[in-house]
Chains A and B, each alone.
Chain A
């Protein structure tokens, strides 16, 4: 039996060795070690940006970009570029509609959770954009293919103000692909849109509305409401237009909303209630209709509820933000 314990000891040592290997790997920076030769090798431009993984320098101005999360596809579209590959392309259109469909040549590179390395590699991209919470584990493999930027939209830091974070990410992407003037144009355009929409609100005599906004859907036969907190993009946009959010959460919600049930609404009966529902899953006209816990709420009684369309994408980029602002005001002014 001595032999056995000797093996156990050896094993322990090997595990330790593996661990130390690991931690070294984590801190090692393997940037700029690209062996791939670009055709026009003579690139003089290089930008240094800060992403979720730290600082990095990217050479040249990438033309062929693969995006592994939808928001960044939209960001590129706003900058007048089209990604060469998008993860989760099949279902993109079901959830995001900014009126700019992709052309036929855009390739699907697998799911967002598990993008297909081989597909990405075959597209021979010169930039990959991913998100830390999904793609951190494959960061090394991605970097072997092309320079990789990872954002962390749902980190503590970014969650403080998701709208600002969206703009920061947008600007970072613009900086990398050398479209900074275009980005400025887009963001100015967005602010203009907000101002226009705010004017529409004032015209209708609806300035300074207080509101609660929710995205609602059925979950296991239960009406479930996501109430957006002030740090979310949609609340920021509404606040930008001079509205005030009544809903507050005790803790910072990293996704920008609190998931809850209809019971919670009793605490906010003086508000104006905005809701985003899918047409085929309108919980307020279906399950909750006739139920006194909904019908007896003051804002229902006094007709202060405003429905928004189901394709209002609350997790998008600047174009989605413009669409959202318009949808909010449409809902608010249409009596």
Chain B
């Protein structure tokens, strides 16, 4: 009996309370704005509208914004519910599966190149972009047989790829895309009811689909085999519900921009309360998604009452990320032993080190030489040769020694350092997705750097130090939180993702607040070897290599033991927790050095270890030198292209790494899935 009462109470709180809170927030929300309108007038505008300017303001500017917030939040939450169920992954949402990045990229492209296609808020392009992205991710991860991890992996890589492309466009079309950056983090501003009128029917339709399939989704949670045995066409159910989820996402993105975290947080809230069946889950998520988004918008305007808008998407992440972290901390430490079974190239053909190292070395030397001889006028080996050996051309020689050589070396070293950092993280977290950016270090460095740039407005000389400090602080926070969970791989990765999101939100807010510096901040954030010289090389790159590589050479074996699983490692007498911490600290310091030198280049740490595994298998002592060389080579090649491809314009090398690396990585995944 008691239980029944308790359940009723919970239901009243969840649904009744949710609605009540929604009303309250809406009311607070419509009292905010650039014009002071007395409370009585607002109330009157609601219940007894007259033809006055103030009433119009409330009804035409403010109400739509509040309503848009509710339905957008609701839509995102419902799409989160569907995606989490279908992918059986508690961390699925439109952003983790890459759908956000695809829709946003589609919008940026059509804004610049096909402005005529931007009718109807660019919904067509956004939806197509979203659907294509999802199909892309879906196909890559192996279609209907996709494992959750594979899917999120594909989603992350695709996100990388699209964000890189988007950044390229934003750097080159600074003025055309000026207005789009804020859009990249979402805003709810409305001028009339058009946005609501446009999106409401679509959202209602998609939510209805979700309701129709609610019981089928319930069955799906029992597992595909059970669902099939119960006579359900699993593939169809998945496909239709996912399409509904993508539609929900694209509609929201096309009207208010990509707002992350709502789709992740709201469903978890309802699940925490204890609902598992999809009908209450959908209703509850919709309500609370609306609440989360409205609250974020109210907060955004309290924090920044000036006219310039804080992106609400950044606020949701700022609020949502600690939430995610708290969720993760509360998780029962499920002994999920996801060993390195999903490491790419685990059991591939092994080539002996004797062959691999010289080959890679040769590749690097050749690339370096090509790089030295190439500049704004393409490849000029004759000129370079003359400059050095015919001592005819002092000017070109200086150019090469002062500009090209140090830059290429910076690329080589930072690539190597990043690659090793990624290798260690993948070993420590036993997670093929791990790299400095996953664990939150890269965004920590970004936060540190930007804070020194805009808040303390000290000279640019201090930026790298800010980056280092930021990286270390973020690392220590993740570790402090992770210590409770004994550095469990899954927990640590989740904490890192939470911190990254928090950091990225922070970065976005800083960038939006400092309007004109956007382009320069963007280039720095995407990581670049632009204008790097001897100073960076000597200050940040040479000594970590000299210090750590010998240390790692005999210390990295412990990662092999770790990969056997915690229990086995403990049985073999390894102090698992302290080893994890120390290795992760080394990796952090390496990553921080690299970020200090060249900004946030994220992809190298992810991709170089995988490539190395393909070549020489999974013994870490062999992997160390190979990974370093591959990472170095990757970045040297990227640097060469970034200087010469569009000369005299630069392409940030971090973006090029992503453009070179991502397709290869995706192809690799596809091949292994087959």
Chain A residues lying within 8 Å of B189, measured Cβ to Cβ, are 220, 222, 261
- The proximity string for B residues 450-485 relative to A, scoring 1 for CB distances below 8 Å and 0 otherwise, is 000000000111111100100000000000000000
Residues of A within 8 A of B308 (CB): 258-260
Count of residues in B whose CB is under 8 Å from the partner chain: 76
Q: Is A117 an interface residue (CB 8 A)?
A: yes
- B533 touches A (CB below 8 Å): yes
Q: How extensive is the interface on chain A, given as a class? A: 35 or more
Nearest opposing residue in chain A for B37, CB measure: A266
Q: Is the Cβ of A264 less than 8 Å from the Cβ of B551?
A: no
The residue in chain B whose Cβ has the minimal distance to the Cβ of A141 is B531
Tell whether A116 pairs with B649 under 8 Å between CB atoms, given A15-B468, A221-B121. yes
Closest beta carbon of chain A to B172's beta carbon, Å? 7
B33 neighbours in A (Cβ, 8 Å): 263
User: A-facing mask of B527-554, CB < 8 A → 1, else 0?
Assistant: 0101101010001100100011001000
Least CB distance, A300 to chain B, in whole angstroms: 11
The answer, yes or no, to whether A243 is at the interface (CB within 8 Å) is no
Q: Tell me the residues in window 188-244 of chain A with beta carbons closer than 8 Å to chain B beta carbons.
A: 217-224
Which residues on the A side are within 8 Å of B530 (C-beta)?
114
B649, A111: Cβ atoms under 8 Å? yes
Tell whether, in the assembled complex, residue A251 and residue B531 are in contact, meaning their CB atoms are under 8 Å apart.
no
Residues of A within 8 A of B375 (CB): 118
Stretch in B134-142, B513-521, B611-619, B621-629 touching the partner: B513-521
Assess whether A81 is interfacial by the CB under 8 Å rule. Answer: no
The chain B residue with its CB closest to the CB of A283 is B191
A18 and chain B: residue at smallest CB distance: B539
B298 beta carbon closer than 8 Å to chain A: no
Q: Which of B69-77, B176-184, B224-232, B281-289 contacts A (4 or more CB under 8 A)?
A: B176-184
A232 to chain B minimum Cβ distance, whole angstroms, is 14
State A266–B550 Cα separation when bound (angstroms). 69
Give the nearest-CB partner of B120 in chain A. A221
A107 surroundings in chain B (CB, below 8 A): 648
Choose among A1, A15, A109, A259 the residue that contacts B648 (Cβ–Cβ < 8 A): A109
Using CB atoms, name the residue of chain A closest to B585. Answer: A8
Looking at the assembled complex, report how far the CB atom of B460 sits from the nearest CB atom of chain A, in whole angstroms.
Answer: 4
Judging by beta carbons under 8 Å apart, are B60 and A25 in contact? no
Interface residues in B412-451 (C-beta closer than 8 Å to A): none
Q: Does B352 contact A (CB under 8 A)?
A: no
Are B307 and A264 closer than 8 Å at their CB atoms?
yes
Q: Are A293 and B56 in contact (CB under 8 A)?
A: yes
Are A110 and B56 in touch, CB under 8 angstroms?
A: no
Q: Mark B90-103, 1 if CB is under 8 A from A, else 0.
A: 00000000000000
Chain A residues with CB under 8 A of B578: 1
A220 to B186, CA, bound (A): 9
Within 8 A of A (CB), among B158-192: 171-172, 174-175, 178-180, 182-183, 187, 189-192
Chain B residue numbers with a CB within 8 Å of A10 are 547
Residue contact B520 to A117, C-beta cutoff 8 Å: no
Asked whether any CB of chain A lies closer than 8 Å to the CB of B2, the reply is no
Tell yes or no: A154 within 8 A of B by CB.
yes
**Is the beta-carbon distance between B376 and A18 smaller than 8 angstroms?**
no
Q: How far is the CA of A117 from the CA of B530 in the complex (A)?
A: 9
CA distance A118 to B530 in the complex (A): 11
Q: Is the interface of A mostly helix, strand, loop or mixed?
A: helix
Answer whether A19 and B461 are a contact pair too, CB < 8 Å, given A118-B375, A133-B520: no
Main DSSP-derived SS at the B contact region:
helix
Contact B307 A26 (CB under 8 A): no
Other-chain residue from A4, A111, A220, A221 in contact with B582 (beta carbon distance below 8 A): A4
Residues of chain B with a CB closer than 8 A to A144's CB: 402
CB pair B460 A137 closer than 8 Å:
yes
B399 and A263 form a contact (CB under 8 A)? no
The CA of A292 and the CA of B190, in the complex, are separated in Å by 14
Interface residue ranges of B258-310 to A (CB < 8 Å): 306-309
Nearest CB in chain A to that of B308: its residue: A259
Q: Does A167 contact B (CB under 8 A)?
A: no
Contact A141 B57 (CB under 8 A): no
Say yes or no: is A102 at the interface (Cβ < 8 Å to chain B).
no
B53:A293 contact, CB within 8 angstroms: yes
Q: Which of B175, B462, B516, B531 contacts A91 (CB 8 A)?
A: B175
B336 at the interface (CB under 8 A from A): no
Q: How far is the CB of A311 from chain B (nearest CB, A)?
A: 13
Please tell me if the beta carbons of A117 and B191 are within 8 angstroms of each other in the complex.
no
Known pairs A258-B307, A263-B34; A218 contacts B179 (CB<8 A): yes
The answer to whether A110 touches B648 (Cβ under 8 A) is: yes
Q: Is B403 an interface residue (CB 8 A)?
A: yes
Asked if B517 and A292 make an inter-chain contact with CB atoms under 8 angstroms apart, the answer reads no
Q: Is the CB of B174 within 8 A of A113?
A: yes
Q: Indicate the member of A15, A111, A113 with the most B CB atoms within 10 Å.
A: A113
| B316 proximal to A (CB < 8 A) | no
Q: Quick one: closest B residue to A114, CB to CB?
A: B650
Find the B residue at minimum CB distance from A251.
Answer: B306
Q: Which residue of B lies closest to A263 (CB)?
A: B34
Neighbouring B residues of A259 by C-beta, 8 Å: 307-309, 515
- Is A263's CB under 8 angstroms from B61's CB? yes
Cβ-based interface call for A267 (8 A): yes
From known contacts A109-B648, A111-B172, infer whether A292 and B547 are also in contact, taking CB-CB under 8 Å.
no
Cβ of B20 within 8 Å of any chain A Cβ, yes or no, is: no
> Is B585 a contact partner of A133 (Cβ separation < 8 A)?
no
- Judging by beta carbons under 8 Å apart, are A25 and B187 in contact? no
Asked whether A111 and B171 contact (CB < 8 A) given A116-B649, A118-B376, A258-B308, the answer is yes
Most buried by B among A109, A141, A255: A141
Complex Cα spacing A84 to B578, Å: 60
A to B CB contacts below 8 Å, 25 in the list: A1-B578, A14-B547, A107-B648, A111-B171, A111-B174, A111-B519, A111-B649, A112-B519, A113-B171, A116-B648, A118-B376, A118-B403, A118-B643, A122-B399, A133-B517, A138-B531, A141-B531, A217-B179, A220-B182, A220-B183, A258-B307, A259-B515, A263-B34, A263-B35, A293-B61
The 4 lowest CB-CB distance pairs between A and B, nearest first, are A219-B179, A260-B307, A116-B648, A137-B460
Besides A26-B459, A136-B460, A264-B34, 8 more A-B contacts (Cβ < 8 Å) are A11-B589, A22-B465, A25-B461, A111-B649, A122-B376, A291-B191, A292-B53, A293-B61
